[in-house]
Amino acid sequence: MRKLVALLLLLAFSLAPGGCSAVSPETAEPAAYVSGQAAEPGLLIPEKGTGRLIENEEARRLNAAQKRLLTDYMNACYESLAALELCDLTPLFAGTCRENAAVSNLLLSYQIAVRKMQNEDLSLSAYRYTLTCTEIEEDEEGRIRIMAMEDSTQNFTAWPGVDAQRFDAWHAFVLTEEEGRWCIADHQDSFAYVMDESNPLPETLSEAALNAYEEALLAEARHFTAQKTQTVTRAEDALTAAHAYDRTAAVAYAERYYAGRNPAWPDYSAAGGNCQNFVSQSLLAGGIPMDTQGEAVWHYSGPGLGASGRSTSWAGVRSFYDYAAGNTGFGLAAAADEPFFSGAPGDVILMGPGSELRHAVIIVGLLQNTQGQTVDYLINSNTANLRHFPAAAYPYPHQILIHILGWNE
C-alpha cells in the first residue's frame, strides 16, 4: 500500500474517462496533460471555471513546467466535478507511479459517483480556485515535495446562485522528472487520508483489487444515501425543551468562524480536526449551556480531558452523538437520527465515509424545491473550512441529523 501523508486534517475533494477537451488534436490521448513545457500544446482547457497558482516566494522556486503540472491536476479535478465524468489523471503521473495514479482516479471516481447518487444535479455550472504553495523541498532523489493550500468557490447546477466556498484545503504533491519531463509521483489530500484510515486500501493495488474496493465503497454509499429519504416515526414521549434554542445566534456564530478561529477557544485542526469543537461553540452561542451533571456531560473548562477540562463530547464527533442521543436531564435537549430532511438552521449533521461518524457540520440554510420541500442543506464547518456548502456534495455519504430542541433545567 502506498504511504499516505498524515498531515493536518483539512477537508479537500479529489475526484474514470471522458468529459475533458484538449487544445491540440495532435496528442495521442483524448484528454492529454503533457506538462513538459509551459506553452506545450495538448493541455486541458478548463471549460467551466478558472484557477491559478499564487505567485508567492515558494511558488517562484518552481519552474514553468512544475507550476503547470499543479494547475493541470487541479483543472482536471474540477472539470471532472463540473461534468461528473472523470478526466483520466494517468497522463499526469510518471510511468513508474501508475499505481498512485490508479488510486487517485479511484478516489475521484468515487466522489463523482456519490454526487450522482443524489437527487439534485451536483454537477458544476462554474468554479474558481487558487492554490498557494506553503512549503517546497527537494529530496535526495531529486524529487520535489510540495505542500499547498487551496481556496475555492463552486457553483452547483442545482443551485447556481449559491457560492459554495472551501478554504485552506491541503494538498501534498511529489513531482519527479522522467524522460525529460516533470510528472506527478504522488498526490495526497485530506480525503485520501481519511478514506485510507477508515477503509484501508487493499495491500495489492491491482486493477481487480481496486475495482472490488471501489464497488464495496459504492455499495455502502448507496445504502447510506437511500437511508436519508426514509421516514422515522417519532415516539409519543419525544423529548421536549423548557428553554428555546436561539438558532439565529448559533448560525451567526457559524457564519463568523467557518474559516478563522475564535481566539478564545483552542483549535484542534492539527490534532484530529476542529469540526466538533466549532459545532459545540455554535451551540453554546445559541444558548445551550454546558452540562457537567450526571453521566452524560458536555463542557469545556480547559484543554485536558475530565471534569476540570473538557468532555470528550465537546470535541469528539461520536461522543457528541452519544451525548445528544442520551442526555435526558439538565442541558441539551436534542433528537438524534431525525428524518434527514426535517432539519432547520442551527441543527447539526454528523457524517462519515462509512459506518463510523467522523465529521460534524452545522446547518446554516435550507435548499428547497419549487414545492417548498427541503431537499438539501447549506452547511458551515471547520476542517474542512466550508461556507454555504451543500451537504449532499460532501463526499461522506453517511449523514444523520441531530435536531436541536433547546435545553432543560
**DSSP states along 36-54:** SSTT-S-PBPPSSEEEEE-
What confidence tens digit (pLDDT) does each residue in 19-47 have?
343 332 233 232 333 333 333 434 678 99
The residue among 122, 130, 146 whose CA lies nearest residue 5 is: 146
CB–CB of 153/128 below 8 Å? yes
Domain 49-223 has CATH 3.10.450: yes
Q: What is the pLDDT of residue 229?
A: 85
Q: What is the pLDDT of residue 305?
A: 72
* Distances in whole angstroms, Cα of residue 208 to Cα of each of 5, 37, 111, 220, 247: 25, 35, 19, 19, 49
Q: What is the pLDDT of residue 235?
A: 52
Q: What is the pLDDT of residue 296?
A: 94
Query: Grid cell 463542557 — which residue?
Result: 299
Q: What is the pLDDT of residue 24?
A: 28
The model's pTM is 0.87
Residue by residue, pLDDT tens for the chain (409 residues) are: 343 333 322 333 333 223 343 332 233 232 333 333 333 434 678 999 999 999 999 999 999 999 999 999 999 999 999 999 999 999 999 999 999 999 999 999 999 999 999 999 999 999 999 999 999 999 999 999 999 999 999 999 999 999 999 999 999 999 999 999 999 999 999 888 888 888 899 988 999 999 999 999 999 999 999 999 876 555 545 679 999 999 999 999 999 999 999 999 999 998 889 999 999 999 999 999 999 988 899 999 877 676 668 999 999 999 999 999 999 999 999 999 899 999 999 999 999 988 899 999 999 999 999 999 999 999 999 999 999 999 999 999 999 999 999 999 9
Q: What is the pLDDT of residue 61?
A: 97
C-alpha span between 385 and 381 (Å, rounded):
5
C-alpha span between 130 and 133 (Å, rounded):
10
Hey, what's the cell of 36? Answer: 513538459
Q: What is the pLDDT of residue 293?
A: 87
Hey, what's the cell of 329? Answer: 436531564
